[in-house]
Structure 1
């Protein structure tokens, strides 16, 4: 079965170098591909494998077409083209419509006849399941929650009451949307729970990775914009708003009432403090910590790369000596009379970091 290279070229707007009647039926890596597989080259680190690949076709950018030993599908964006071809060659497993006998569906719930509800799924009163939606095994759809058309909940997904999921979304196993946010009011050394009366609104074409959690709003809703892609084990706190087409890698976290703009790229294990604003088109590299608003598009980083343990420990110890060292430098400047010590001496201990990137967005607040 599969598709001919000619069919793929026409369907995805590629130029073709090679036999248009040759067929491919799967995808594979440059190293492992055989004649029945299509692969791609987008990362220059793998260029060394191009000359020896046995793939039926390689998706490459125009400047690499002549270097490909066999057939080439030539595209301006090889990785995106590969993604579309891979989706065509490896479609999701078909799920027959209908409600399994082992599912529990409240009589007042509305389940479209074309939707599929798997064994041990629970759909509570007032819930609405759209056309061709798939509710996988063990999923729980609580009262009044809504699932849009063509959305798939893979398995053991929990949608708490009144949560709304858009169309064509994909929620991986263990996702929990709409649990209470962490709202607590202090009183005389104790904590009083603040009712979380908002909900969660998830837009169309959103993907949410395994065991990611999105808390319901305290008063207004938590909002995930259209096209957002969230990796595994991410925490989104109450009243967060994430703009359209932003992506977040695994183990990142956003504290409450923070707004993240559109088309942002947030690396793994990034932490964003609460009540901040991150503007559109911001890149946060892995392990960065955001403690103040960012109002200028660009790339921002923090955290330290790894080092040999002995040297890292020495440098860590010296970090805590920086304030004393700065004071000694100010004293020396006053002694030599260079005219800068007096101004510096007026700065309090623990003043803001001097990184230009940090300073820029500090000043913009």
Structure 2
């Protein structure tokens, strides 16, 4: 087989770059995927009851980038969907991120109105305020509210998600969980929000449906890479694994999922996602029919529990954001720089950073335009 590019991984990075190379450069690409499916963690499929589920947890596409939206729209129609999340707090299910509606539900009316006025006066209506910033506010009432939100909404969820006290995590984690001084209950405020109408897997199939693209599933790239000694490589897997863990393993959190089908119910819960920051061992329950809009009897829910990552046992999901982990990654990054004429390292695992789906698509398009087209 004659190929120009060997791409390791059939997730967003690998499939987008394969499509661009095949269609715009008319070059031949072989995608090698260790799993038995394409799509990476965005893979979805129909369960035994005919319900479309996201196998690795809910994936809600949202972006402000018209370029990314238009690009993916060439490969899928969309089911327009705006995500709403509830959290079980003090026996009530309330909107999160914490906002003025949450305030009204959880507290007596007179207190809620007083705090609403204070928050708007202090920060301005429509602002998003990081919880740590609000904890340092000089106003005692605002401090006390922030302490309540921190303990009831943020602390337990973060401890379960990361297995680490939030104080020991990078500040970027707390920055992603602000208090919204607004009544917008949507989890995201991006201009474009949707899920692929026929599912993510169908979209990925369309992405790589090109005569210049071949696919190998259930294959470790190390088994075949020696067959292509002069071929350029795009690597989207764990960067530490590529270098045989010479500096040690990069830490990740993994996830464990449990699906439960309810034949007697049209819907199980009030929203597509309900978080449990303080109760149970799992972090959230997702109900997929509320996301996809699928019309079918019964409903499937999925609980999600964070757990330690163990190589060869489960999958790496989230790079753990701590300074010392960043320092370890930079050692591998330096090694990768020495191979940049031969191997491009792209994606969440290869760059040891968390990407939203639109970010990784934008990154792949950028790499194609700046590093591949000009090489």
Structure-1-length-normalised TM-score: 0.23
The structure with the largest strand share of the pair is 1
- Pair member with larger Rg: 1
Structure with greater helix percent: 2
